[in-house]
Amino acid sequence: GGDLFYLSSDGGDTINGGSGSDAIDASGLTHGVTVHLWNRVFGTGGYDNDITGIEIVYGTASGDVFWSANNINDTFYGGDGSDTFYIGNNGGDYRDGEGGADWITAANRNGGVNINFSANKSTNEDGDEDTLHNIEHAIGSGFNDTITGDLNNNQLYGGAGDDQLLGGGGDDTLDGGGGSDTLTGGGGGDLFYLSSDGGDTINGGSGSDAIDASGLTHGVTVHLWNRVFGTGGYDNDITGIEIVYGTDFDDVFWSAININDTFYGGEGSDTFYVGSNGGDYRDGGAGDDNDWITAANRNGGVNINFSANKSTNEDGDEDTLHNIEHAIGSGFNDTITGDLNNNQLYGGAGDDQLLGGNGADTLDGGSGNDTMTGGAGLDSFVFDNAAGEGDDVIVDFNTTDDTISVSGELIADLVASAANDGNGDAVITHAGGAITLLGVDASQVIGSMFV
């Protein structure tokens, strides 16, 4: 007949169901159990029981683990708790996770499997099917798997092999693991984890989707506008991604066109390119790293303002900046403003305005006729004696605290060149141009000002 066995908490029992469809009910236990129907063990540690002839198991309210028998159609009810079900050998099994966040895993299989939560089934490498209910998450085998989610917030992990993961309609988490994987988020706000080997194809689908690269052991270059995410042999093909979490190394971020992207740099010295359409958010991450915003890609002058936490491109489109300390301008006329940090501000070509803020800042206008204001703090002004450096102006040079560096020039020659202009301001000449120090008399120009 169909017998029902209740388990006590002390273990050490020997149970034989005999003929018929027999069941064990472990729901009264105060701990999770591991069920191996194929090797006659039911329990955990000192709670082991020796069982045969059992086809149905009711789990506990804790986290249980279920392994089916060979050549028997088993039925498992997980109960509450986060349960794990191993894919069976011969098909015909029924697995119901009931309450809790439950898992189906193919870590025990010797070939690729197909797990489909939308179709309520799993298929092993031999084509044998089991039925799944109330199971939300999946772990693939070490081979080429296909795993499909449903309307729940699924967690899908491919493992080794070239896997296909399809998230479904929830806010899913997808991790292809090793191999060249294809990951599709579907609806909802999905999160994709990157493995270190690259070669993945990722499509976020609809919703606000994210890639998390924080587990990688190398920096990445993110080009959302041309679908590349990686460095060298680590490249991945990505579409439909709006949010990126970088690594703990030096990352580079390029935004997409007509999409409001969000970049989190993490640790490391990260570089963010000024975007095309505005609405982007860039966060270099907390800590002592040195993060950069650069306009080297722009076709017109930009405004980068760390005090206002924003950058504005040549078309007036604004992005939001946080935890970024340093800036590189475009080849046109830029305005770059620092904050309380020790900013490094580089104007590049063009007639730039650099304003350092209250830190110990480094200002380099680059070529063109630049105007630089150091602000409070011990500031350094950097010049080059190359042709085209231009006629530059320092608005607030402090002869006691600030310094000037002109590459390729002797300090004695710079001091000797100092002369007042018609306004009584000192002008220092060098091979590449001139430096005017507003409010400073030529007699105050001495060697200790230069480094």
The CA distance from 103 to 422, in Å, is: 81
Q: What is the pLDDT of residue 113?
A: 98
Q: What is the pLDDT of residue 232?
A: 65
Q: What is the pLDDT of residue 45?
A: 63
CA–CA distance from 359 to each of 261, 341, 405 (Å)? 30, 5, 18
What secondary structure does DSSP assign to 44-62, as a single string? SGGG-EEEES--EEE--SS
Q: How many CB atoms lie within 10 A of CB 274?
A: 29
CA–CA distance from 149 to each of 154, 164, 202 (Å)? 6, 11, 16
The CA distance from 395 to 318, in Å, is: 28
The pair of structure tokens assigned to 19 is 């003929």
What b/e string do you get for 65-98 counting C-beta neighbours within 10 Å, with b at 16 or more?
Answer: bbbbbeebbbbbbbbbbbbbbbbbbbbebbbbbb
Instruction: Look at the block and give the residue holding tokens 């027999």.
Output: 22
pLDDT beneath 70: ranges in the chain: 10, 45-46, 232
- Give the model confidence (pLDDT) of 153-173 as tens digits: 999 999 999 999 999 999 999
The pair of structure tokens assigned to 147 is 């795993």
- Please, are residues 32 and 63 in contact by the beta-carbon 8 Å criterion? yes
Q: What is the pLDDT of residue 244?
A: 96
Domains of the chain with CATH codes: 250-372 (2.150.10.10), 378-451 (no CATH)
Positive or negative CA dihedral for 169, 166, 243, 175?
positive
Task: Give which of 430, 355, 353 is closest to 390, Cα–Cα.
Answer: 430
Q: What is the pLDDT of residue 70?
A: 84
- Give the model confidence (pLDDT) of 219-277 as tens digits: 999 998 877 788 767 788 999 999 999 999 999 999 988 889 999 999 999 999 999 99
- Please, are residues 337 and 306 in contact by the beta-carbon 8 Å criterion? yes
DSSP tag of 196: S
What secondary structure does DSSP assign to 316-367, as a single string? S-EEEEES--EEE--SS--EEE--SS--EEE--SSS-EEE-TTS--EEE--S
Instruction: Look at the block and give the residue holding tokens 């194929």.
Output: 38
Q: Report pTM.
A: 0.91
- Please, are residues 211 and 198 in contact by the beta-carbon 8 Å criterion? no
Q: What is the pLDDT of residue 225?
A: 80
Q: What is the pLDDT of residue 404?
A: 98
The CA distance from 62 to 32, in Å, is: 5
The pair of structure tokens assigned to 265 is 């740099």
Burial of residue 225 (CB within 10 Å: 0-12, 13-18, 19+) is middle
Strand partners, 426: 420, 437
List CB contacts of 425: < 8 A, sequence separation 6 or more.
436, 437, 438, 439, 440
For β-strands 121-123 and 114-116, DSSP reports them as antiparallel
- CB-side neighbour CA atoms (13 Å) of 371: 7
Q: Which amino acid is it at 87?
A: I
Give Dmax (Cα) for the chain: 112
